[in-house]
Amino acid sequence: MTDETPSNFIRDFIDEELASGARDKIITRFPPEPNGYLHIGHAFAIQVSYGIATDYKGQFNLRFDDTNPAKEEDEYVQAIKKDLQWLGADWGENLFFASDYFDQLYDWAVFLIKEGLAYVDDLNPEEMRSYRGTLTEAGKDSPFRDRSVEENLSLFEQMRGGVFDEGQRVLRAKIDMAHPNLNLRDPVLYRILHAHHHRTGDKWKIYPSYDFTHGQSDAVEGITHSLCSLEFESHRPLYNWFLEKLPVPSKPRQIEFARLNVEYILTSKRKLLQLVSESHVRGWDDPRMPTVSGFRRLGYTASALNEFCQRAGIAKRERVNEYSLLEYCLRQDLEGTAYRRMVVLNPIKVVIENFQEGETEWFEGPNHPANPEFGTRKVPLTKEIFIERDDFMEDPPKKFFRLGPGREVRLRYACYITCTDFIRDDAGNVIEIRATFDPESRGASTPDGRKIKGTIHWVSATENTPLEVRAYEPLFIKPDPEDVEEGQTFIDNLNPNSETVLSAFGETELSQVKSGDRFQFERKGYFAVDPDSSAERIVFNRSTGLRDSWGKKQQK
């Protein structure tokens, strides 16, 4: 634990155990189910478990909870490993799968049957639900609860052999159908599933439940602290029940913490899958998705995501973090590292009438104004340039310090220009601006030292790099995506303006970028090169603006 790491209740527990001698080494784990991509909530959980293991000089395990082959794919396994590596979580040689323990788990299920603590039940799912009871009413025993040990062993062996259809029988723990905690009302240990497993193939016709797999896998690996979200708090008595009843090699401790919640973000894996399968987004790594791969494609850095998770902090109660904090962490990270470039997103042409036709003048601009060691780049000025459409007004107010009739502005790094005229189309829209430049202002300064309040960015209209720019806003229009009216679903809260595609023009050097490169487009924000890019079409994603414009927009 470093001096910079704030203490919390999890660390307090660990400190007590280490001080008392109850533990001499800390081992944590991250146990994702490979049925989807990791999201920002997983990034938080990873930081908690990996951070604990690292700070206490312990061990961190990655274990895939691959107990449901009907929904799991190797694609997800590989994506999860890639995301963890990108986030900086190093599991070293400690990569495991729950399927590694299928034989051991089966033997422990047999052990429970022999101890009279498990039985094969013939109730169908609907009947099982009705027998289970409610939060205020006790459940009732299944009519198959008192089968003999011999009959249960025989039926369980037949379940394993594929004799029965899916759903025909399950293996349940025999605990207490009247227990106030519903999780202890004879939970299911095994269900029949005739599905091909991505690692074990067709060996198994039965698969263990999460509750039966989780704690025992922890025990086999010697996990000392099973750190999980608050939703598993009511499962902890069952977690401990299995550890007490089975001859496990170690006794891990489950500790729950509040999961990460963020405004405008949904982290239900089932609902994220719905967004993908119904083509509301282009895939799990769509830049609008709250997945780790989506954030990476949007242009986020691992350090920015980790910093956000660190600032969110570990707590015992659920709370919601502001979306603006997420963007703030990215801006803080990129401010000192992103090269600057000029890009015009909504172009209007300016013709500099006293500039020599066919001539090109090159001006020098810093790659980063605060870091001279980043060097400089050359930008070409030609007779025709593009500026942002909103940097010109026909009848500008007094405090509009950009271009207008008779107004003088500074072209960043280059010179001063003055608007002399403009041209309209048949609909009355301004389509071209005429201007002159002051030859004495080359380098964006003049001998007479006159003060120019307005500085605008620009790009040559003839020597540039055409770009496709995808401007993003949060995927949902409400801070709580599941805040819906009767008859609606979270789909009704999708933001129709979550993606806007622009045809833009950038500096010539942007023709040499590669996927993942990040830049600050001067006066516009931070942008990253999208994997869709090619030599013929360079695509940039807007990662975030230069300030919290989204948060301010929502407050209006």
φ, ψ dihedrals at 505, nearest 5° = -130, 135
User: Is 518 a known active-site residue?
Assistant: no
Q: What is the pLDDT of residue 548?
A: 65
| pLDDT band at 550; cut points 50, 70, 90 | very low
Read off the pLDDT of each residue in 515-531 and give the average, rounded to a whole number: 97
Exposure string of 89-107, with b = 16+ CB inside 10 Å and e = fewer, is bebeeeebbbbbbbeebbe
From CA 519, how far away is CA 465, in angstroms rounded?
Answer: 15
Read off the pLDDT of each residue in 182-208 and give the average, rounded to a whole number: 97
527-531, Cβ contacts within 8 angstroms, sequence gap of 24 or more = 527/299, 527/343, 527/469, 528/297, 528/298, 528/299, 530/287, 530/297, 530/470, 531/297
pLDDT score of 118 more than 50: yes
From CA 353, how far away is CA 286, in angstroms rounded?
Answer: 45
Strand-pairing partners, residue 343, are 506
Q: What is the pLDDT of residue 5?
A: 58
Q: How many residues does the chain have?
A: 556
Beta carbons of 529 and 296 less than 8 angstroms apart: no
Residue of 11, 17, 33, 73 with catalytic role: 33
Domains of the chain: 9-257 (3.40.50.620), 269-339+467-555 (2.40.240.10), 343-457 (2.40.240.10)
Residue range 395-434, pLDDT digits in tens: 999 889 999 999 999 999 999 999 999 999 999 999 999 9
Q: What is the pLDDT of residue 449?
A: 77
φ, ψ dihedrals at 149, nearest 5° = -55, -45
Beta carbons of 292 and 39 less than 8 angstroms apart: yes
Q: What is the pLDDT of residue 549?
A: 55
Range of lowest pLDDT (88-92, 177-181, 441-445, 478-482): 441-445
pLDDT score of 1 more than 50: no
Residue of 160, 169, 174, 269 with catalytic role: 269
User: Is 75 a known active-site residue?
Assistant: no
From CA 48, how far away is CA 313, in angstroms rounded?
Answer: 9
User: Is 335 a known active-site residue?
Assistant: no
Q: What is the pLDDT of residue 3?
A: 42
Beta carbons of 468 and 536 less than 8 angstroms apart: no
Q: What is the pLDDT of residue 382?
A: 98
Computed over every residue of the chain, the mean pLDDT equals 95
Q: What is the pLDDT of residue 394?
A: 94
Q: What is the pLDDT of residue 207?
A: 98
Residue range 444-464, pLDDT digits in tens: 777 787 888 899 999 999 999
**What would the DSSP string read from start to end of 367-406?**
S-TT-GGG-EEEEEE-SEEEEEGGGB-SS--TT--SB-BT
